[in-house]
Amino acid sequence: MNYRHSFHAGNSADVVKHSLLIALVRALQQKQGALTLIDTHAGCGLYDLGGDDAQRTGESTHGALRAFVDLNPLLNDYRAAVQAVNLGAEPRLYPGSPQFMAQLLRPQDFLILNEKHPEDAYTLRGVMRGTAAAVHERDAYEFWLAMLPPRTARGVVVVDPPYEQLDDRTRITATLAAAHRKWAHGVTMIWYPLKDRGVHWRWKEQLRKLGIPKLLVVEHWLYDDDQPGIYNGAGLFFVNPPYAFTQALPPLLEALRSVLAPEGNRGQITTDWLSD
């Protein structure tokens, strides 16, 4: 599965991912202590919804553009973050995770980004110019471990690969196990696309066997029944999510499900704790 950011910017998965990212960081910021925010697969940082890649799929029509016309106040923070990089009422540009996190930074926080593709890394540096972000150009999984533990006591690692490589899930599992040994109390957020329930059930069982005490999985299924061979939605793993975040999830997830369900489908967003 190739999930390069530029082709899917602003789709339903981005709306869910970035809404939950905002909620996660805000929950951690209820304490004044500094945070280190780390993105292992940062991409370009900003995407043109009118560009060739995004227009080829047109997925933002069923994602960010729907969220913009919805009136649910629980999505206000998400809409404001997208609006911050746009001049008009309707978004033409879509911020990647680095931009969302940069907007959330307090003076005491740090933002560290990584993008392995040289052209994307070059673009990312330009997009993030004027912010406090440090940008690396390294193998994502080597970078992930090298950054741990961060300079601050608390932080978040965001892992959002394009799943171009067949071994991405295997590398995530191995790196997460090693990362948890180095930084057991750290918060990690891992995104993945959903195509086949069996594939993801098997991966969840592998992660369950890691024995991580607090591992939450959130899955957004767009359709009432599996649509073979196509994108069915996306999931997120959260390691050590803070209590304030998990308590605020149910109404936020219902708001997201409601606005993003395709016509004729109710869709569903499920949550589950993975533990032996």
- Rounded mean pLDDT of 55-76? 87
Q: Are strands 110-114 and 134-136 parallel, antiparallel or unpaired?
A: parallel
pLDDT score, position 226? 64
Considering the chain, what percentage of its residues have pLDDT values greater than 70? 92
Whether 53 shows a pLDDT value over 70: the answer reads no
- Classified as helix, coil or strand, 11 is coil
Question: pLDDT averaged over the chain?
Answer: 91
Q: Is 160 a catalytic residue?
A: yes
pLDDT score, position 185? 96
Q: Which H or E run contains 191?
A: strand 187-194
Nearest to 147 by CA among 192, 186, 120: 186
d(CA 89, CA 260): 20
Q: One of 39, 160, 225, 272 is an active-site residue; which one?
A: 160
Whether 101 shows a pLDDT value over 90: the answer reads yes
Cis peptide before 149 (omega within 30 of 0): yes
Q: Look at the block and give the residue holding tokens 């070059």.
A: 122
Lowest mean pLDDT among 121-125, 140-144, 198-202: 198-202
- Rounded mean pLDDT of 260-272? 87
Helix 12-28 vs helix 243-260: crossing angle, to nearest 10: 160
pLDDT score, position 229? 56
Give domain 5-273's CATH number out of 3.30.70.270, 3.40.50.2000, 3.40.50.150, 3.40.50.970. Answer: 3.40.50.150
pLDDT score, position 1? 45
pLDDT band at 127; cut points 50, 70, 90 = very high
Task: Enter the pTM of the model.
Answer: 0.94
Cross-sheet strand order for the sheet of 215-221 = 134-136, 110-114, 35-39, 154-159, 187-194, 233-239, 215-221, 268-273
Lowest mean pLDDT among 65-74, 106-115, 217-226, 253-262: 217-226
d(CA 177, CA 196): 24
